[in-house]
Structure 1
Amino acid sequence: MMDTPCSSELIEAPQMLPPPPGTFVDREELIQHVGDFAVSQGYAVTIKQSKRDRVVILGCDRGGVYRNRRKTIDESSAESIRRRKTGS
């Protein structure tokens, strides 16, 4: 007979918390603080958008929307089909 853990014995993955709010002297201190906190929680942060000396938008390095960068051949239908180059 195999022993299987019941649902109350399963180990839950640690929750990845956002950094706590704070006041920072400059932009570099903010980015350093958030980056260090993110690493301690098991994720990484990158600059998603920035305006010089005004606004910095930080985000998870794995976040966002997938963009298909492969070339496609448009067919008459609404869907486009990817095709490999078969010639040499």
Structure 2
Amino acid sequence: MDSQTAADKNSIINKFNTTLQSFWGNLNENQQSILKKIWSILTYKWQWQIILNAPFLVFWILDQTIPAVHSFDMKLISSLPIPMIIKTYFGFS
């Protein structure tokens, strides 16, 4: 399984941002205005989906970047008074 560290992910994001900024800087004003209009149409049509899904995106990003979240979950689940047969069924024993 190919796993990346948080630093690797940040470097990929930084490379993507710099590439996107250089692409945007190379466009003339007419092309930029066309892309802004397209983006405004997309965001208008999808604004509720973006707004409602943003918290889940934040949780997913935190889940991917902070491995301590999973150890906390395992400690929390194992401390709950759940019968052992149910814990083994879900793989938490």
TM value normalised by structure 1: 0.22
Relative contact order (C-alpha < 8 Å, sep 6+): which is higher? 2
Structure with higher Rg: it is: 1
How does the TM-score come out when normalised to structure 2? 0.22
Q: Which has the higher helix share?
A: 2
The structure with the largest strand share of the pair is 1
